[in-house]
Structure 1
Amino acid sequence: MADLNKMTEELKQNYDEIKLKVHLGSKDAQDEWDELQERWRHFESQANLKKSKEDLGDALEILGSELKQAFDRIRKAL
């Protein structure tokens, strides 16, 4: 669970940093950002539920990895 907490904190930091920059970015980055916001809200709500570590853990790891990759793409596009 410590790994999930660490991942959540890192993703939140990335989310906050990119959120500040995205309005200056390209239209493509803004479109991807809009899509990511919904996925972020889903991730955040699931992480906060802390239900069944085993069931949520794998799904959250995958979603967290996808979010990290998307954050990296947007960061590069900015």
Structure 2
Amino acid sequence: GFPPQLPIFRCKPDYNDQNPSNPGTNCKFIINECLAENLNDCDKKAECIDTIDGYECKCKAPYKDEMPESPGRVCRCVI
């Protein structure tokens, strides 16, 4: 006979698989923190970029980072 077929697990849509080597065992809901101001701490003069496990902030030109260790949180105009 054939070996028994193991079930295949997958994360549902809108969920990210946190453990691809063992699919479907650790699914995390994907949140776009950039859609709501209360979910991110980007400066108003920064662009919020959604990532799989969070978000990034990037100052828009002509603004520059005041705190390069925390990009896009404090943006100042450079003249």
Both structures adopt the same fold (TM-score exceeding 0.5): no
Structure 1-normalised TM-score?
0.26
Higher relative helix content: 1
| Greater gyration radius | 2
Bigger share in strand: 2
Q: Which has the higher contact order (CA 8 A, sep 6+)?
A: 1
